[in-house]
Structure 1
């Protein structure tokens, strides 16, 4: 799939969210999209998935089957989990029997069995995200687009996401994923696109090239924000001293320096 000289703005004479973007995603490749909040990561993913159309330029060679998982599943719908997934499978072109089998498989893998008859509007955010992930996988996607897929998921579901990505890649599909939690460290070898100032810059695959380790010391109240910003800019947080979860490191302890590798 190609994005060829793609420009996008949301209204006429409005600011350009993306400018002159040309990138390529080949079959069997995974790309991690990085960047600070509000720079256009979700816009880029929606263009790739076909949710948005470019203002200028074009998206070429998009696979026929695209699995799309938005950052927040639209749960305000009058359906049960089972009814929604079966309807999604039928819209995707599966027969009733195929739809039932596909829904059963992903309901089991994602632990959605207890919620089969629950209305979408009654789900927690994490459970709703599982439904969104399931609907994206009912047909094997040639392109899987995941916008912050780990957000709100429990530990077991977070572990499943890299497995799913690996399965899509093994079948010759492509995966495009954004992440601000640092979870994409579990996708070794993935390429990276960094979005900043309306442009997209390619970075080396994870694990490639020289790596520098830098130790920083910041005031305790700023730890969580600093970690989030560094991750968004493409850095890998090795550790935060005295804390097991850097993203939640806000307790008032003395001197919490941490190491960060580019």
Structure 2
């Protein structure tokens, strides 16, 4: 899949959001989209997924099956979870039997079974986001586009995202993902697409040692010392979960990534 000299703005005569973007991704490859808020990351992802058409240029070789997961799943719809997923599966060309198997499989895998009869509008943000992830995977995608896929998910579902990405890549699909949480440390070897100044630049994988995420359970009274020691050894603290832990958790990735939990 490739963008060739793509430009985009949201209205005629309006400011350009993206200008002269030429970039591509091949089968079995993943890319992480980086950039400040408002730089155009979501716009780029929607272009790639086919949600938005370019004002100029073209997108070529987009796979026939694209899985699209928006940052916030539009849950204000009058359907139950099972009814919605079944309808999406049929629209995507699955037979009734195939649709039933796919829907039941993802309901089980994402822990959505207890919610299958619940209407989408009654779901919490995190549960709705699981439905958004499920609908993108009912038919194995040749291209999976994820806009902040970890947002709102519980710990078990967050762990599932890199697993799903690995499965798509192993099947020869491509994956594009944006992330401001640092979760993409779990995707070693991914390219980096940086959106800035209305264009996109690419950095290939460094080929260095793969990053590993380690989650630690630490007594609350020892968190500050543990964080200090880990940083001194060159590790990156993704976040600290717990009550009243006033610690900064940002910084450049260096060495193995670590999560401290208390």
Calculate the TM-score normalised by the size of structure 1. 0.83
| Contact 1:238/1:258 (8 A) holds in 2 | no
* Structure 1 position 203, deviation (Å): 1.4
SS at match of 2:26: coil
SS at match of 1:32: strand
Q: What stretches of structure 1 of length at least 5 have no aligned partner?
A: 210-236
CA distance change for structure 1 residues 206 and 165 in 2, over 3 Å: closer, same or farther?
A: farther
| Contact 1:5/1:58 (8 A) holds in 2 | yes
Partner residue, 1:260: 252
4+ long deviations beyond 6 Å? 247-250
Partner residue, 1:66: 66
Partner residue, 1:2: 2
Q: Which residue among 222, 227, 239 is the counterpart of 1:245?
A: 239
Distance across 2 between alignment mates of 1:250 and 1:6: 47
SS at match of 1:102: helix
CA distance change for structure 1 residues 248 and 194 in 2, over 3 Å: closer, same or farther?
A: farther
Partner residue, 1:56: 56
* Structure 1 position 238, deviation (Å): 3.8
Calculate the TM-score normalised by the size of structure 2. 0.83
* Structure 1 position 6, deviation (Å): 0.2
SS at match of 1:7: strand
Distance across 1 between alignment mates of 2:42 and 2:49: 10
Distance across 2 between alignment mates of 1:112 and 1:132: 12
SS at match of 2:201: strand
| Contact 2:239/2:249 (8 A) holds in 1 | no
SS at match of 2:83: helix
* Structure 1 position 258, deviation (Å): 6.7
